[in-house]
Chains A and B, each alone.
Chain A
Amino acid sequence: MRPLLWKEMRDLRAWLLAGVALTGGLEILLLTQVFAGSFVSTWMEVLMPLTAAATAIGLGVGQVAGERHSRTLDFLRVRPVSPGVVVWSKFLAGSVVLAALLTGIVALSFADPNFMQDTGLRAIREQVSFAGLLAALLPRFWFLYALTLLFSVMVDRSLKAAALAAVVVITGVSTALAFADLAPFSGFVYWLPFFDGTGGLVEAAKNAWLSGMAGAVFSLGALLVTAGSAALLKRSPERYMGNLSLTVTAGAVIAAAVASANAAAHRFPELTPVGSWKLQPTGEWGSSNIVAEGSLVAVSHDHLVQFLDFTQPSRPRQIAEVTVPLWTSSSDWNADRVAMQDGAVFLVGHKKQLPADVFQIAIVKPGGLQDSIDLGSERPGDYVSAPVIHGAFLYIGVTRDRVCSLLTFDVPSRRQLDSVTIDRMRAPMPGIEEGSPPVRMLRRGAYLYISSPSYLTTIDLVNPQHPVVASQLPVRPKVSFLYGFPRPIAMQDKRLFEIRIFPESLTAYDLSDPAHPFTEAERTYHDGNGLVIGGDGRNLYRPWRDGLLEFHAQGNDLYGLRYLRGRASVSQLAFAGDSVYTLTAPAEHDQRWVQAYRLIQK
């Protein structure tokens, strides 16, 4: 084996030199700050897996196919050495070079002196060590390399082996992703060799057991595949796949992936809308939201509220369109916080006013603007949540000077009755733009649940004028910053669900004792359409493909129930009785739709 190892290492020397030149050159450019700070983030999340995959494939493709094509394989075949030894020597040399190159490729993700300023990169780096990431990635790309070596044994051209490897990788990953969003395939995300929205790789890299288990399986797979390669070459020196069989195989793999994706898309029973309303394009939609009460639906965008009547869902009609005067256009802030009660919409927005704009809650009915509640002048970093209405009282979460408070208002008099401090956040990380720390609220019965950066707070509304804190559950942050991200919350049965980042995860709280929730489970969460989750109390809903996915949380996993197919991807949703109304994201020609679904068929 020794002479073969020497030859293989010499053969792969160009790869080593290219790897050192690439990673070393990029590192020099980083240190001299030629690249902007976001380069390393792009490298870690996009270029690193691509480069690693290209390296694994590039190392393996020519090792046998290239020698077969150039006929140097014959030189080895007529020497007293087993073809198995030839394959294992190639595998060993390739593995050493792969490990060396991957070390450089991964190291580059940890080599930016300015990484602290990049929140996405920092979020990963605070959780994942260089050694942890390398240990997680190496077996994955080792397996890919072994697979490519197998393809190299099966064909007579490096290019053919590369094409086959590329087809298998792309189809394999896309198939895994198509199924990975729900049980029983949700564990797929831990096996991916790149950072996707689920944070599966982050979890795998920081969890020794997960990393070890995945690493052992991938490593065993690499060894078994190589044993297969050795057996194939030993059995016959000839190629196994001609052009026709190669094309057929690649076609079959692609067809299987397409069939899998199709099966993934149609694995749930479908529910179609009972009615739709086409919104006229406005030129710029700004931030928008939808609320519903019975068959009355209100869509807000910017300083405009449209009231729609879905009494006859197949023939909805617009009742009114109300503009809130003096409100700023919302291109620079979010006017998506809205609630509805007794036909009135409570919309949070900005009112132009000197010397400074003020936060305001506009109370809008189909007949026009009814009233407004001033929340004080706006300062940078302030956040105002969507309001929660309970009888004659309105509750709103406000973050100001990094203190989250619950404000109570008497709606008829528009007076503020109370203010309860629920979260005093620590000082922001220097150099990190955390945005406005959000507050999310959800009421069930006499309890109001508030998700703030540091706590899940339960508010007792027995005395609605003066709510009191019933309990607080500290949130253990995964990273030391990133307060500025929304955390949608939803309810299913006696469980409260909250999305957190980073990585995205869905935490379930048990509400058996509604005053004292406790953390029940946490799982990675993948929502390609954005971090939106809602619930009607029985099930959970989230945007999925061109519509909504109805799913049910059970244990530590999510099970899909129905696909609520629509016209376009959903940006917001609202529940009213047995109906759910969706507001689609702007699609072709800036077109948006409101769509109504009946969740319980009569």
Chain B
Amino acid sequence: MNRPAITVQALSKRFGRRLAVEDLTFEVPQGSVCGFLGRNGAGKSTAMRMMMNLLDPTAGSVTLLGLDSRRDHAALMRRVGYVSESPVLYEWMKVRELARFTAEFYPQWNRRRVDELFDRFAIDREQKVRHLSRGTQAQLALALALGGDPELLILDEPATGLDVLVRRDFLESIIQLIQQEGRTVLFSSHLLHEVERVADQVVILDRGRLVRSGSVEEFKRSTGLSLEESFVEAVGVKEQA
């Protein structure tokens, strides 16, 4: 059996007196599309930022593609793509400049794919980043995250900022594109129907704690409920407890 693409072990993060993530442990198999679910403030973004070594965990460890996310950070970033919830880019750069700037960091840069995505999202390469809409900036960030041909893509609420019409196409097409190449995707969302449509794995968080993790099919089979119903039940059970 392949080793997991993501192994999170007893991960915790404390901000002052508040425990944002508590003893989080789960695995995401390679080649899977994993939905990272939870209500607003459940700790999804915090957990993802710790996976990307953008935050120091209070305790625990993260292994991505078999490498320690802190110790092997620079090497790992060649193989992992990440888009944050509200990606911040260098606004004074033109799209073309930002693409070239980003490409210089990677030993292999899939320029054709980036160009395709720019065309698909209708991003003007001569436009300054600051003049792009929030949604277009999110699309630009995604295109750049895919330029390095990542084996693992971590997306934090990737559809935020997109209007309803493009959101569906955006999420499905991108995730399918990645998955077709046998790559792993972890994406967070609180829109369950979106996750259900594309994910084969889910990890559910509530108040910083893991509620449930596993394959979507297993969820449905064991509970006899849709993912949405299962999520409500899981969070509801937690609340009652």
Residues of A within 8 A of B (CB): 2-3, 6-7, 10, 70-72, 74-75, 77-82, 236-238
Contact assessment for B56 and A80 in the assembled complex, using a CB-CB cutoff below 8 Å:
no
Residues in A with CB closer than 8 Å to B74 are: 80-82
Residues in B with CB closer than 8 Å to A79 are: 77, 102, 105-106
Closest chain-A Cβ to B76's Cβ sits at a distance in Å of 8
Contact assessment for B105 and A238 in the assembled complex, using a CB-CB cutoff below 8 Å:
no
CA distance A277 to B105 in the complex (A): 79
Give the one of A74, A75, A81 with max B CB within 10 A: A75
Contact assessment for A237 and B56 in the assembled complex, using a CB-CB cutoff below 8 Å:
yes
Residues in A with CB closer than 8 Å to B105 are: 3, 79-81
Contact assessment for B77 and A81 in the assembled complex, using a CB-CB cutoff below 8 Å:
yes
For residue B104, CB closer than 8 A to chain A, the reply is: yes
Chain B contacts with A in 84-131, Cβ cutoff 8 A: 84, 87-90, 92, 100-102, 104-107
Closest to B84 in A: A74
Residues in B with CB closer than 8 Å to A6 are: 101
Contact assessment for B54 and A75 in the assembled complex, using a CB-CB cutoff below 8 Å:
no
Are A72 and B52 CB-contacts (below 8 A) given A78-B77, A80-B75? no
Per a CB cutoff under 8 Å, which of A2, A7, A10, A80 touches B77?
A80
Are A2 and B52 CB-contacts (below 8 A) given A80-B75, A81-B74? no
CA distance A3 to B78 in the complex (A): 16
**30 CB-based A-B contacts, threshold 8 Å:** A2-B104, A3-B101, A7-B101, A10-B92, A70-B88, A71-B84, A72-B89, A74-B84, A75-B88, A77-B52, A77-B53, A78-B52, A78-B54, A78-B80, A78-B82, A79-B77, A79-B102, A79-B105, A80-B75, A80-B78, A80-B106, A81-B74, A81-B77, A81-B105, A82-B73, A82-B74, A237-B53, A237-B54, A237-B56, A238-B55
Per a CB cutoff under 8 Å, which of B73, B90, B107, B148 touches A72?
B90
CA distance A553 to B45 in the complex (A): 68
Give the one of A3, A79, A236 with max B CB within 10 A: A79
CA distance A552 to B74 in the complex (A): 61
Closest to B144 in A: A75
Per a CB cutoff under 8 Å, which of A75, A77, A80, A236 touches B90?
A75
Closest chain-B Cβ to A405's Cβ sits at a distance in Å of 73
Residues in A with CB closer than 8 Å to B82 are: 78
Closest chain-A Cβ to B134's Cβ sits at a distance in Å of 14
Contact assessment for A7 and B55 in the assembled complex, using a CB-CB cutoff below 8 Å:
no
CA distance A72 to B74 in the complex (A): 17
Contact assessment for A236 and B101 in the assembled complex, using a CB-CB cutoff below 8 Å:
no
Residues in B with CB closer than 8 Å to A71 are: 84, 88
Residues in A with CB closer than 8 Å to B78 are: 80
CA distance A237 to B87 in the complex (A): 17
Residues in B with CB closer than 8 Å to A80 are: 74-75, 77-78, 105-107, 148
Closest chain-B Cβ to A328's Cβ sits at a distance in Å of 70
Closest chain-B Cβ to A325's Cβ sits at a distance in Å of 80
Interface string of B22-55 (1 = CB under 8 A from A): 0000000000000000000000000000001111
Residues in B with CB closer than 8 Å to A78 are: 52, 54, 77, 80, 82
CA distance A238 to B88 in the complex (A): 17
Give the one of A10, A77, A236, A238 with max B CB within 10 A: A77
Closest chain-B Cβ to A5's Cβ sits at a distance in Å of 10
Residues in B with CB closer than 8 Å to A3 are: 100-101, 104-105
Chain B contacts with A in 155-190, Cβ cutoff 8 A: none
Per a CB cutoff under 8 Å, which of B80, B88, B100, B101 touches A74?
B88
CA distance A398 to B106 in the complex (A): 82
CA distance A74 to B49 in the complex (A): 9
Closest to B82 in A: A78
Contact assessment for B89 and A75 in the assembled complex, using a CB-CB cutoff below 8 Å:
yes
Residues in A with CB closer than 8 Å to B92 are: 10
Contact assessment for A7 and B90 in the assembled complex, using a CB-CB cutoff below 8 Å:
yes
Per a CB cutoff under 8 Å, which of B55, B90, B102, B104 touches A237?
B55
CA distance A10 to B82 in the complex (A): 25
Residues in B with CB closer than 8 Å to A237 are: 53-56
Closest to A237 in B: B54
Residues in B with CB closer than 8 Å to A238 are: 55-56
Nearest first, the 7 closest Cβ-Cβ pairs linking A and B are: A3-B104, A80-B78, A80-B77, A71-B88, A79-B105, A78-B82, A82-B74
Chain B contacts with A in 48-68, Cβ cutoff 8 A: 52-56
CA distance A81 to B78 in the complex (A): 9
CA distance A81 to B54 in the complex (A): 14
Closest to A76 in B: B105
CA distance A236 to B56 in the complex (A): 6
Known pairs A77-B53, A77-B54, A237-B53 / 19 extra A-B pairs, C-beta < 8 Å: A3-B100, A3-B104, A6-B101, A70-B88, A71-B88, A72-B89, A74-B54, A78-B52, A78-B77, A78-B80, A79-B102, A79-B105, A80-B77, A80-B148, A81-B74, A81-B105, A82-B74, A236-B56, A237-B55
